[in-house]
Amino acid sequence: MSNQNVTRSDDKPASAGNEPALLPPVDVVEDATGITVYADLPGVPKDRLNVRVEGETLLLDAELALAVPQGMEASHAEVQRTRYRRAFTLSRELDPDKVAAELSNGVLRVRIPKAEHAQPRRIAVQVA
Amino acid sequence: MYRSLFPGDLFAEVDRLQRELQQSFDTVSPSIRGFARGYPALNVGSTPASVEIYAFAPGVDPARIDVKLDRGVLTIEGEREASVRGNDEKATVHMNERFDGRFRRVVSLPEDIDPAAVNASYRDGVLHVSVQRRASAQPRRIEVQ
């Protein structure tokens, strides 16, 4: 399990990097304190993974690196691209500065906590 | 003239288009075991000395993947647990695209492989099975006396 730095910039998502990429399957679960994103990124080592928040967009960008023997010829390929890419638009109550990511066995887990003011609060009912 | 009962069934139409597209991309005929574009995705390659199988199986405990080679047929099976649990009442699932449950995929290997020389490793969510070809099947240079 390894923690990943999440970079943040306020620029608009760059239009560069439009080479065709695989769309990794994801699970997105929301609980009271935040949102967790799980993404399947098999074959991606930690140093080829890039998780970043650009403006209001969460971007996952990763590159596949397989150790392939020299002179191998592919005879059947279901994974034909070497890049994964997926983007999500965050909503306002999420705190983009506290995004945390970890990669383990080819599964990326990104935790986006809700900003403190957006966390649920129990409102006491005053009895007159 | 016959008119569909549901003329506005856009989803069915999109579905049909998707299948047609899929078939036009698959230039080779499907295997008898179907397209099976499931989990894990498989890439197979070969070198003069070995056959290399890559199974893209992220999020699986390597100890629980069962790799078997029986009469030239390689079987990869196992189970992946769901990350999204239904029993947490306070959690809301917004997207659930990742596979969970039991999986099984089968590859038939060429005839010249050596069933005793199989090596399997799991790294970054990819299971790599390397099967050596028999030494007797390898091209050999013959010295001219």
Mean pLDDT on B82-97: 77
Res A12 pLDDT > 50: no
Confidence band, pLDDT 50/70/90 cuts, at residue A102: very high
Closest CA to A104 of A24, A38, A34: A38
Domain that holds residue A102: 2-118
Q: What is the ipTM of this complex?
A: 0.78
**What are the domain boundaries of chain B?**
36-82+100-136
Whether residue A32 and residue B40 make contact (CB cut-off 8 A), yes or no, is no
Q: Which residues of A touch B (CB under 8 A)?
A: 25-32, 35, 38, 40-45, 65-79, 104-107
Contact B78, A60 (CB under 8 A): no
Whether residue B98 and residue A25 make contact (CB cut-off 8 A), yes or no, is yes
Whether A126 maps to a domain, the answer reads no
Whether A36 maps to a domain, the answer reads yes
Contact A108, A51 (CB under 8 A): yes
Whether residue A26 and residue B97 make contact (CB cut-off 8 A), yes or no, is yes
**Residue B24 CB burial class (10 angstroms; 0-12, 13-18, ≥19):** exposed
Whether residue A40 and residue B125 make contact (CB cut-off 8 A), yes or no, is yes
- CATH code for position A100: 2.60.40.790
Of A38-47, A70-79, B66-75, B135-144, which range is least confident?
Answer: B135-144
Mutate to test the interface with A, among B50, B119, B121, B124 (most CBs of A within 10 A): B124
DSSP B55: E
Of A30, A35, A77, the CB nearest to B43: A77
Closest chain B residue to the Cα of A38, Cα to Cα? B83
Closest chain A residue to the Cα of B47, Cα to Cα? A72
Of B47, B60, B99, the CB nearest to A71: B47
Q: What percent of chain B has pLDDT over 90?
A: 37
Of B54, B83, B128, the CB nearest to A27: B83
Strand partners, B71: none
pLDDT score, position B75: 93
Whether residue A66 and residue B54 make contact (CB cut-off 8 A), yes or no, is yes
Looking at CATH, the fold of the domain delimited by B36-82+100-136 is given as Immunoglobulin-like (2.60.40)
pLDDT score, position B118: 93
CB pairs A-B closer than 8 Å: 118
Whether A76 maps to a domain, the answer reads yes
Tokens in use for A3? 């923690």
Whether A125 maps to a domain, the answer reads no
Whether residue B97 and residue A73 make contact (CB cut-off 8 A), yes or no, is no
- Average model confidence (pLDDT) for chain A? 85
Which residues, other chains included, contact A84 with Cβ-Cβ below 8 Å and sequence gap of 6+?
A21, A22, A23, A24, A39, A41, A44, A60, A61, A62, A63, A64
pLDDT score, position B26: 54
Number of domains in chain A: 1
Res B33 pLDDT > 60: no
Whether residue B124 and residue A105 make contact (CB cut-off 8 A), yes or no, is yes
DSSP A69: -
Res B4 pLDDT > 80: no
Half-sphere exposure of A63 (CA within 13 A, CB side): 6
- Average model confidence (pLDDT) for chain B? 81
| A108 min Cα distance to partner chain B (Å) | 9
